[in-house]
Structure 1
Amino acid sequence: MSTNMKEIEFQTASYEQWEEQAIKALKGKPFESLFTKTIEGVTLEPLYTQEMLVEKLGDQLEKQVATIRALSATNGVQIAQQITGDSPDQFFSNLDESLSRGNNIITIDSRLPFTVDGQFTAKLSDYLTEYSFKLMVENENDPLLKVFNGIEENKRDSVEGFIISKGAVNLKGYSKVRTLGANTIPYHNDGANAVQELALALALAAKQLKTADSYEAFASKFFVNFAIDTQFFAEIAKLRAFKVLWKAFAAGVGVQAIAVPIVAETSVRSFSKVDVYVNLLRAGNEAFAGAIGGADVLTVHPHDVLTKPTATSTRIAQNALLVINEESHVLNVLDPAGGSYFIESLTADYVKAAWALFLEIEEAGGIEAYKETISTQIEEVYKQRITEVETRKHSLIGTNIYANPVDELPIEENPQFSDVKRLAIPFENLRKEFAAANAKIAMLTFGELKNFKPRADFVAGFFNTAGISPEQSGALDTIDAAKAWLAQADADYVCIVATDDDTKELVPALLADKPSHIVLDAAGKFKEEADAWLSKGLNGFIFAGQNIIEKLRAVTASMKEVQR
């Protein structure tokens, strides 16, 4: 009998029914194991429903959505590809190429590898009268700012752009150049979470508003600058939350909110110098989150930006945003994330937490008075991030998991990002340490391949993060064969890889005749046997959930010890 698919209706399952099925699937694990606490302290639920969202926000839901849509400064995202070059000639050649391929906003970091002189700024001034720009400078005495001296006075009112600076920049005669920025990126690069970034954006705004003639004058010069990390939904919620917070901020000073631009760039906090093409995927993910979240201006960093971008990597980065703009059609929708039960709920959580932190900062006397406290809080978050990466609670593809051991670590360093507290740095340093040690690492694999392979793959992956591919003994099938292999092994370190039962037989036998120059570990957790084995000469264990950095540094220390 034929069935008309159009007539089929699926029954709607309640949350309780879904929960019942989820508990069955968990096979004894608690239902609470499906809940995830983020680094911001927000608990993510495994399922969000319309009823849950309405119950949580009530009338505030409609106000939240309306605010986000009303406070959009633009109707899309403009491409702000950063221009680089080893010389002025190469810089302007790259600039022309970028503009011809869809770049909307000329983006320049003043830390250029050549001297910024009068000839350079005079030529650049012609471009700034035609195109919007984003300039990143040290302070108002930065040589790059002399570019504005070369612009004719009758053209200055039409010049548009953003200036990001550590210190205040007083640029007279340029009414459309925004110089008051809440730059949260330095905090982001130190490890700040989304809630801290949002609160700091408001605190920086509050500080600058105090010296302004009026809110309207301030808002006409103000913008916020965010970095977009790899946490896709969280970053969408962060940008949306800022607009809700901005309305509350304006209400707090007794005025109606004026939309201000959200300037953003892809984060390099999760970038790595090894397996660099994964950075390309990270940047694409971050760019998409920025576009959906409502960024008005977006810079996508090339995958090799930590060392030295090439013409190809720069073009790929720019094309990532062009694809989003031209092919995805996502920006044809106003607030594309609006109405998502999950994102609306997360947006509200960020608003509540960030507003509370902002009030705490203000009650303490403002951002300057709170500087030491917020630095301590951010440092705690950074340490948590590092611990999660080192224990693989947070995956950094190509770095702490699925690492390619043959990747070479580049020496070159882009000074623009040398101070970023990147999550991959401990693993990059670990590769340097193992390369310098020139140690021979091996695995003693025992039993049938199907039985030891999962554990062998884990141990190999463990050492791959340090740029090491351990040698394998092959499938040894007797204890005598294992002892013979260990006795002649050309290795400084050996890890025993077998099933738990086989390991319990192997370790005592191997320790009895272990060569003195070999450091011996066992793969797995053996709580009951650990003390006895360690007392007889076993170095330690390798197991899931272990701090990779601490363990592998302990391995190098042990190898140095036995070699003395």
Structure 2
Amino acid sequence: MSKMKDIQFEQVNYDQWKEQAISALKGKPFKSLFTRSIEGITLQPLYTQETLVDKLGEKLEKQITTIRKLKASTSFSPAQQIFGHTEDQFFSNITNSIERGNAVLTIDSQVSFEWSEQSLSKLATLLSNHEFKLLVRDSSDVLLSVFETIEESKRENVKGYIISDEPIILKSYPKIRTICANTIPYHYEGANAVQELALTLAIARKYVEENNFESFANKFFVNFAIDTNFFSEIAKLRAVKVLWKALSTAYGVSENITLPIVAETSLRSYSKLDVYVNLLRAGNEAFSALIGGADVFTVHPHDVLTKPTDQSIRIARNVILVLKEESLVQNVIDPSGGSYFIETLTSEYVEQAWKLFLEIEEAGGLDAYSQSGKLTALMEEVNEGRQNALATRKQSLIGTNIYANPSDELQTVTNPIFAYVNRLATPFEELRSTYETIRPKIAILTFGQLKNFKARADFVSGFFSTAGIVCEQSGEIKTIDAAKEWLMNNNYDYVVVATTDDDTKEIVPELLAIKPKDLLLDVAGRFKDEEGEWQAKGLNGFIYAGQNVIEKLNEVANRLKGVQS
């Protein structure tokens, strides 16, 4: 044991690691280890101290120092949203929420009851004693009249955040932040991390007063949605502090002005299918926000897209409480500080976001840039890439586009508060609804021995599981005559042939010659040389890896509707 303490391992540099990596790739190019992110940044397979220092140099210490000094608070406060169908239920839920660990009351003005004088008076008492986050539409929102009800002697100590499409003016409330860089609407339109950061600066630039930056900063905060890309979201929250420092310096402010970061789990990746996976997404997002340095955080319940229950709300609240208690991350000022990867990614986000911010400013500011259509075009391009990656299953949305549970019942109820969210799962949910309507009988003709067809049969089964379909299988069919007999004697709407390439080329022409007219027949795999000939003889098409699942399954559904009619 004493000898082990003195062992020194040989230090390996990047070039030595690269040499070993190339050898392990067995002929594949080294560049295949590099990944291009949705932000257009190339992610390397390995980050080292040398590469980090080479890239940032003296900037590294400044970056780390800035991030650590600009943390607005030492806490990570749970800000669970309050739900309730009636006034009594709503206020009962507030009390319960406070008793069970909620620190910031999150209230959306869109409630199913009317904000009466009585309810506003009750709310005024609560807001006088508890930190809050209010979501309102604009300055005319009836919920804002609650501040007229609060006793004047208490107004100086009332603390909270107001999220609105426009700055809210409140007199005599010095601790309420009312100017918000709310990037969440852009997030749901498809914006990536770099675009959200640039838009944060553009919004700040829009509302800041030239000679009164500090007064503006005391009212300003940011509101982010945190998505499932763990390291990217950590870097985003760190980068916004560096960008904020650069903006304040541009206005002649030399001292550090902290920037409160309010955030929540992104509903962009939430699905109505296999809803408990949303809980896993929420935990991942909350932990990245905790590490990244968010100050106030909301975990949306896993069933919030439909109708959250007391249990789901409790679980969501406890996600933050457990993370804080078990991870001990709050004992560290900057948990990811010094990470070669995170520091590099933070720097790249800062660089790219500042570049886009300057482009927005050169176009005349946020409003002019938006009206020109450039902003919409940028977000649509990113969103299209993200949707395509899911449709081709290059990216996973567990329980929705991969490992889908076909027996999972799709909920048709929609929570009106979040009906506007542009979610990635929506096309797959629509597929479920379509196939639920037509209820086709689908089977896989598995030819040969199990070892010959299992991989393709499993792939086809998973392919159709995304539409909620359980494919029947023929079992081992050993001869072409038996395959013909099975095809003729079973009343299916749609059949996929799954076997080896050689067997497929042999069996498909025979099956096409005898298949019933109304039967749709597809083949598992790519057969470009035979494609034209087979389709001319009645083959519907092919199912293969990398195919657009949405387009293919919609095409099949439309053909099945035509056959059934």
Q: Is it true that 1:16 corresponds to 2:12 in the alignment?
A: no
TM-score by length of 2: 0.98
**Separation in 2, partners of 1:316, 1:562:** 47
CA distance in 1, matches of 2:391, 2:4: 50
2:462 counterpart residue number = 461
Question: What is the distance in 2 between the residues matched to 1:328 and 1:207?
Answer: 38
CA shift for structure 1 position 37: 0.2
Question: SS of 2:27's equivalent?
Answer: coil
SS in 2 for 1:163: strand
Q: Deviations over 1:471-507 (max 9, x none)?
A: 1111111111111000012210000010111111111
Distance 1:429 1:331 in 2: 42
Q: Map 1:337-352 to 2 at 5 A.
A: 337-352=336-351
SS in 1 for 2:412: coil
- Tell me the alpha carbon deviations over residues 423-462 of structure 1, each in whole angstroms, 9 at most, x when there is no partner: 0000000111111111111110111112211111110000
Q: Per-residue deviation at 1:385?
A: 0.8
Query: Shift of the alpha carbon at 1:562?
Result: 3.6
Compare 370-379 and 38-47 and name the one that shifted more: 370-379
Residue matched to 2:27: 28
Q: Distance in 2 between matches of 1:538 and 1:29?
A: 35
DSSP-derived class of the 1:198 partner: helix
Would you say the 8 A contact 1:269–1:422 is kept in 2?
A: yes
Secondary structure of the residue aligned to 1:172 is coil
Per the alignment, residue 58 of structure 1 pairs with 57
Which residue is equivalent to 1:523?
524
The answer to whether the 8 Å contact 1:493/1:519 transfers is: yes
RMSD (Å), alpha carbons: 1.1
Q: CA deviation at 1:146?
A: 1.5
**Match of 1:445, as an amino acid?**
T
TM-fit CA distance, 1:7: 3.2
CA–CA distance in structure 1, aligned partners of residues 5 and 491 of structure 2: 69
Contact 1:236 1:293 in 2 (8 A): yes
Alpha-carbon offset, residue 4 of structure 1: 4.0
Q: Note if 1:451 corresponds to 2:452.
A: yes
The SS at the match of 2:352 is helix
Deviates more, 1:338-347 or 1:212-221: 212-221
Give the CA deviation at 1:561.
3.4
Partner of 2:239: 241
1:323-338 matches, within 5 Å, as 323-338=322-337
Q: SS at 1:359's partner residue?
A: helix
| Identity level (%) | 61
2:437 is aligned to 436
Q: Give yes or no for contact 2:496–2:521 (8 Å, CA) kept in 1.
A: yes
**1:224 alignment partner in structure 2:** 222
Matches within 5 A, 1:211-290: 214-256=212-254, 257-290=256-289
Distance across 1 between alignment mates of 2:116 and 2:376: 37
Cα deviation for residue 213 of structure 1 reads 6.1
User: Contact conserved, 1:516 with 1:562, CA < 8 A, in 2?
Assistant: no
Unpaired stretches in structure 1, ≥5 consecutive residues: none
Does the 8 A contact of 2:166 with 2:179 survive in 1? no
Equivalent in the alignment of 2:511: 510
What secondary structure is seen at the aligned counterpart in 2 of 1:327?
Answer: helix
Write the distance in 2 (CA, Å) between the matches of 1:324 and 1:373.
Answer: 40
Residue of structure 2 equivalent to 1:540: 541
Secondary structure at 2:338 match in 1: coil
Matched letter for residue 56 of structure 1: K
Distance of 2:10 and 2:44 partners within structure 1: 23
- Code of the residue aligned with 1:7 in structure 2: it is D
Q: Is the 8 A contact 2:461 2:471 kept in 1?
A: yes
Equivalent residue, structure 1, for 2:295: 296
For the residues of structure 1 that align with 2:108 and 2:503, how far apart are their CA atoms? 59
Partner of 1:498: 499
Write out aligned runs for 1:116-131 (5 A).
116-131=115-130
* 1:374 corresponds to: 375
Cα distance change, pair 448–327 in 1 and its aligned pair in 2 (3 A): same
Note the C-alpha offset of 1:558. 2.0
- TM-superposed CA distance for 1:563, in Å, is 4.1
Which amino acid letter does the alignment assign opposite residue 497 of structure 1?
Answer: A
Query: How many residue pairs were aligned?
Result: 562
Q: What is aligned with 1:105? A: 104
Q: How far apart are residue 74 of structure 1 and its match?
A: 0.6
| SS across alignment from 1:259 | coil
Deviation, 1:15, is 1.2
Distance 2:559 2:494 in 1: 9
Which string of whole-angstrom CA distances, capped at 9 and with x for unpartnered residues, describes residues 213-245 of structure 1?
A: 611110010001100000000000000000000
CA contact (8 A) 1:117 1:143 kept: no
